[in-house]
Chains A and B, each alone.
Chain A
């Protein structure tokens, strides 16, 4: 068993519903106990859907376990087809139904239904939401495009003269973080460079659309969490190569354009001659100077975390002090990215562990999920959301992509906003006792919001939960930590420390203590504080 206060991902059948709800003409019959229909409100409330997700729940109860739950399933499937007349039926089990072992796929096949039936095995006790979405999309693609797979060895027919190259956009689903606008943005971007979208799926696609996925020249995998298995199968079956660079940020979007252009056989130079994004200039303008070296902690799904780290470092000039993901399937990508920034990747789905790591790293900014928003609030650190899971405010009414050139504009505004603005930051450092603008107050451009608590000790639960943290000796060439000596702050030094601006004070405290430990100092004096500063820099 795993003790869980908060889960980054839902169960695997939620992923299946995300795929079904993204599409048209697909209905999902989910064998599940009464109560599992709570899932509907994710779609109707968080995403504010205007329709119920296309799911029929069998809603079995205790008294029905004694009788025939498989009959219940068959009735539900029959009724769903009659009422909704879908083009394809997805069938599967939630966790409890998995335990009672009604074979939903077998039952549905035995019913000789007039439409394609796609069974999906969701392994609820091993797998999670993104895996469920990936598996479901793969099964749907295989079932619906499968009949059109050419015989092995058949060469791809050449493009008709005058026809623009075509690609599929794979991976966008319901409840995806900004998927709606990302699809629009990337479709526009591709159009600008002369490429058409054959099918975007699952979001907006019908079973008939999936059947013609093979018509495209190549695939663009926007979200590997959802579409990697389907893209892999399409590559094997139709010989379609896949673009795997996710265009998050300017650099990645340029790479993406080059990769796409190469596959389409067109020259990327015209498209790259002008970059219609304001991020590069905004980030170079002197106002952004104070962003240099801001310490940022990044956590989210693998795609967004890796992409965000690259933008943070190479496009905004931040320093990444932590990088992690809850996507174990993509852990390797995150580990490789972490190496680039000299940090150790954090691969975990335990939010208490993430909280402990954030507290330890003392960042100036946290880029994370809805959960890190909470962690950051507790620790008094500014935060912006870069990845699911997200709450209702991150399904905005306005156009708000993350990908492509407009996405980069959105990233710039979103990430900079929570930070104290430059002038205020300077003035706080100079004059600490203003009755109104002081470090306990929120940045004044955010209104008179919640008080900051930069130095509040981390929550005891989180600390207790964290694996024993060894003294941080990363990157230091010091003698082995002297271990037991805990240097004590003198009153004068403690007072002097308060003169360090609050957003870097935590780091100053840590650096000074490490400095004292390394030198075996029992006491931290004002001198030691400044010695440490001279040694480590700001």
Chain B
């Protein structure tokens, strides 16, 4: 059969950003806190319940972020701290015990309870680690109670998932010695994506593949010195460190977005497991070709267009790499809330050199830069999107990128379509004045 050129040999001339050009800013930030990922995590781990210990603001945030979904049977709630809880910590702990007891009585199907810290619980120094241990002993028979912080003080949006998974790492069983090497894919992925990646990895001959987090809390994957971890998302730095501290080895790779990203990601796994290049080609080439074909449809729409990323979830850099290399978009600025040099290095090496990167945010100044750039498309949160549209600037709202299956070969076209859609829509609404 024809062997397609290996994706690792792609042209990398004029590519590569080191981090010297990163603009670091602090100031007003228009981002979610780490509580927001509860909106997808509670669906991912199906027997888990997320109890936020916080204020009415926290409850309101999750409710607003979850939109209509809150009307289904939600597996999350907020223990709202009230004036009387602020009097003393002991009292707050007793209240927490009462609420958890009530909750577990009411929901006997829950096998894992996350106590999620918030800004208020952290400022009053409510020790939820201690509370989790105590509750496991007192009320939680058969229920694993785990604490992590999703507060805005400590976490930005997707870092909430990082904190959640990090807290779970100590609960993972130890891998049996001599069981052989296994691959652990880390990060919440859509079911359809998980299935596709599993098939590809198995096709490569990597037999022992597990995903973390699992769909059920009693199915926690084992970890140990024979575990190879591959991150599915760039925002999982502390989870990776925690897994490494249990002996696992992380394999560095770009993230599985687009045809190229997916190939490089799979290649990293293949290399770690000594998969022969021929086999790698045979397994991945048809899917990669299919992905490229799907992308072709959107290339015409997106090629040459300028895009500006506001910081949101840390997936901005991999997305920018995908959009510039596979769809020919021009990068104005790529903002990220947090830039982990180690994890993102393979991505930076693929960005056009000289790309303006920014870490953190000073909202008003970034808005000024954005307007001065006149980008064709702005990736930003819902607080900014409509105001930009009203100014005549096309936007792609960023949360959708966390709520849509976008990883892997067979989602590459869908991912491109997410960026093409706002532009197509604008070109369709010909009879409308720009704004009214």
**A interface vs B, CB < 8 Å?**
1-7, 9-11, 13-14, 33-38, 40-42, 44-45, 48-52, 56-62, 65, 76, 79, 83, 94-96, 99-100, 124-126, 128, 371, 373-374, 377, 391, 459, 461, 464-465
Contacts and interface: CB of A to CB of B under 8 A. Distances in A.
Nearest to B74: A5
B63 to A, nearest CB: 6
A174 to B, nearest CB: 14
B31 A52 contact: no
B383 A37 contact: yes
A5 B74 CA distance: 8
B96 to A, nearest CB: 6
Given A41-B382, A52-B384, A58-B28, A33 B151 contact: yes
Interface string B45-56: 000000001011
B120 A95 contact: yes
Given A2-B79, A34-B33, A99 B61 contact: no
19 contacts: A1-B82, A1-B98, A2-B82, A3-B78, A7-B59, A7-B63, A7-B78, A7-B80, A10-B56, A37-B29, A38-B32, A38-B36, A38-B64, A44-B383, A45-B382, A96-B123, A96-B152, A125-B55, A464-B105
A161 to B, nearest CB: 42
Q: Is the interface of B mostly helix, strand, loop or mixed?
A: helix
A99 B385 CA distance: 32
Contacts of A65: 123, 153
Given A1-B92, A35-B61, A50-B435, A56 B80 contact: no
A6 B71 CA distance: 9
Nearest to A371: B71
Given A7-B56, A40-B383, A464 B106 contact: yes
Contact of A50 (B86, B98, B390): B390
Interface residues of B, number: 66
Given A33-B33, A48-B386, A38 B107 contact: no
Interface centre among B30, B77, B78, B152 (most CB of A within 10 A): B152
Nearest to A79: B364
Contacts of B180: none
Nearest to B68: A391
Nearest to B103: A3
Contacts of A99: 86, 120, 123-124
Nearest to B381: A41
A56 B386 contact: no
A113 to B, nearest CB: 18
A402 B103 CA distance: 39
B33 A10 contact: no
B90 interface: no
A537 to B, nearest CB: 35
A213 B383 CA distance: 33
A63 to B, nearest CB: 9
B48 to A, nearest CB: 16
Nearest to B100: A3
B71 A377 contact: yes
A59 B63 contact: no
Interface string B263-288: 00000000000000000000000000
